[in-house]
Amino acid sequence: IGQEGPLSVTKAKLQNLKTGEVTEQPVHGIFIAIGHAPQTQLFTGQLEMKLGGYLHTAPNSTATSIPGVFAAGDVADDIFRQAVTAAGLGCMAALEAEKYLEGLPNHAATVAAE
């Protein structure tokens, strides 16, 4: 990485961990995954979780086991685990939270006071 210039990627060296063999593959870019473990320890015993520590959400929703608590991104997506799906789930969670708050009994009084 960067041998032909500081801002270029032309190849990646890959090592087979079983055999130790090193091969080179031509590439134009590299994505690095730092890890996919959800950081949900804070919610242990409070929110329902799936295997692997991901927060359980209702089908086709970001709603968790506690009304008014929504989950998105790395703590909820145990299938795709991509930034783009995290962003989409974040948008879904925001819209669902807004709908939830609008349905609270005091919401009408708050809006009228404004």
- Region 34-55: mean pLDDT is 92
Q: Given pLDDT bands bounded at 50, 70 and 90, which one contains residue 114?
A: low
First to last CA, the chain: 57
- Identity of the amino acid at 1: I
Closest by CA to 72, choosing from 50, 57, 51, 52, is: 57
Average pLDDT over residues 64-89: 95
Q: What is the pLDDT of residue 37?
A: 87
| 3, two tokens | 């041998």
- d(CA 114, CA 27) in angstroms, rounded, equals 57
Concatenated DSSP letters for 39-70?
A: --GGGTTTS-B-GGGPBP--TTS-B-SSTT-B
Least confident of 6-15, 39-48, 56-65, 75-84: 6-15
Residues in the chain: 114
The answer, yes or no, to whether residue 112 has pLDDT greater than 70, is no
Instruction: For the full predicted model, state whether its pTM sits above 0.75.
Output: no
Residue 33 backbone phi and psi in degrees, to 5: -100, 125
**Domains of the chain, start order:** 1-32 (no CATH), 41-109 (3.50.50.60)
The helix/strand/coil state of 76 is coil
Average pLDDT along the chain: 89
Q: What is the pLDDT of residue 5?
A: 63
pLDDT at 98 over 80: yes
